[in-house]
Amino acid sequence: MKILVCISKTPDTTAKIAFADNNTKFATDGVQWIINPYDEWYALVRAIELKEADASTVLHLLNVGGTDSEPIIRKALALGGDEAIRVNTDNADPFYIASQIAAVAKDGGYDLIFTGKETIDYNGSSIGGMVAELLDLPYISHATGFNLEAGKAVVVREIEGGEETDKAALPLVVSCQKGMAEQRIPNMKGIMGARTKPLKVVEPVAAESYTSVASYDLPPAKAGVKLIPADNAAELVRLLHEEAKAI
């Protein structure tokens, strides 16, 4: 079994979201960078669990990003994985990124490709599906559970108002979310070991970019809260009905 986990670098969940250069660039001053939580907590940890269950499993991590991605790649290697590959580019267009992942995966002989369901910065949910199409593989998105049974993948995925259980042969692309696994903290042995694990840097292949960010906007600020006394909570219901017309 050979698994590829795609990891992305995103701002920390508590990062202040502000923009620079006339609202055309994300202001990165003072921002802490993390592994995209969906990639780390669910895709990577589930892949590590599969490797723990079958020691012959080979686990590769893949990041498409610049040299500033290396700290988060080392952190991912501290959690687990045999080696990492970084495709050296700052291009953020989803199709361009998916093309890079597909180029690495094409000759890699991977049985499984895991991604997070989306990144917490662009919220695109695009990469897994694009990679699957580029490689002509089946794709199961929003997975909350993953198991191998007699060489086939049994995947539970979220649907509106419930869940669905799917079965598919490998190779397969899966996007992962909450429920797949539990967040782990790297231990000292992992952190020390990560320093010597191979991190290969490859140059990007030629690919199209179809989208670009023209500008960013922040949502308008709220007017301020209208407080209702706790002993007159029925007044809230009146306001929601008559003023906000929300119920």
Partner 1 sequence: MSVLVFIDQSEGQIKKSSYEAASYAAQTAEKLGTVAEAIVLGTVADDLAALGNYGIKKVHTVADASLNNFDAQVYAKVISQAAEQTGADVVVFSNNTSGKAIAPRLSVRLKAGLVSGAVALPDTSNGFTVKKSVFSGKAFANITVSSAKKIIGLNPNSFNISTTGGTAEVAALSVSVDAAKVEVVSVNKVNGEVPLSEADIVVSGGRGLKGPENWNLVTDLAKLLGAATACSRPVADIHWRPHHEHVGQTGLAIAPNLYIAIGISGAIQHLAGVNRSKVIVVINKDPEAPFFKAADYGIVGDAFEVMPQIIDAVKKLKGVA
Site for partner 1 in 29-48 (CB under 8 A): 37-38, 41
Q: Is 187 in the site for partner 1 (CB under 8 A)?
A: no
Contact 13, 120 (CB under 8 A): yes
CA-wise closest residue to 185 among 44, 64, 86: 44
Q: Which residues contact 162 (CB under 8 A, 6 or more apart)?
A: none
For the bound state, the minimum distance from the C-beta of residue 200 to partner 1, rounded and expressed in Å, comes to 26
Q: Is 82 in the site for partner 1 (CB under 8 A)?
A: no
Q: Is 114 in the site for partner 1 (CB under 8 A)?
A: no
For the bound state, the minimum distance from the C-beta of residue 183 to partner 1, rounded and expressed in Å, comes to 9
Q: Is 195 in the site for partner 1 (CB under 8 A)?
A: no
Distance CA 66, CA 163 (A): 37
Distance CA 77, CA 87 (A): 16
Q: Is 160 in the site for partner 1 (CB under 8 A)?
A: yes
Q: Is 225 in the site for partner 1 (CB under 8 A)?
A: yes
Q: Which residues contact 206 (CB under 8 A, 6 or more apart)?
A: none
Tokens for 142? 């929003």
Q: Which residues contact 49 (CB under 8 A, 6 or more apart)?
A: 181
For the bound state, the minimum distance from the C-beta of residue 197 to partner 1, rounded and expressed in Å, comes to 27
Q: Please give the span between the terminal C-alpha atoms of the chain, in angstroms, as a whole number.
A: 54
Q: Is 139 in the site for partner 1 (CB under 8 A)?
A: yes
Q: Is 1 in the site for partner 1 (CB under 8 A)?
A: no
- The residue from 55, 188, 206, 246 that contacts partner 1 (CB under 8 A) is 246
- The residue from 46, 48, 94, 100 that contacts partner 1 (CB under 8 A) is 94
For the bound state, the minimum distance from the C-beta of residue 68 to partner 1, rounded and expressed in Å, comes to 18
| C-alpha dihedral sign at 19, 29, 33, 211 | positive
- The residue from 31, 89, 166, 207 that contacts partner 1 (CB under 8 A) is 166
Q: Is 55 in the site for partner 1 (CB under 8 A)?
A: no
For the bound state, the minimum distance from the C-beta of residue 226 to partner 1, rounded and expressed in Å, comes to 5
Contact 176, 38 (CB under 8 A): yes
CA-wise closest residue to 176 among 114, 122, 125: 114
Q: Is 184 in the site for partner 1 (CB under 8 A)?
A: no
Cβ nearer to partner 1, comparing 85 with 98:
98
For the bound state, the minimum distance from the C-beta of residue 196 to partner 1, rounded and expressed in Å, comes to 31
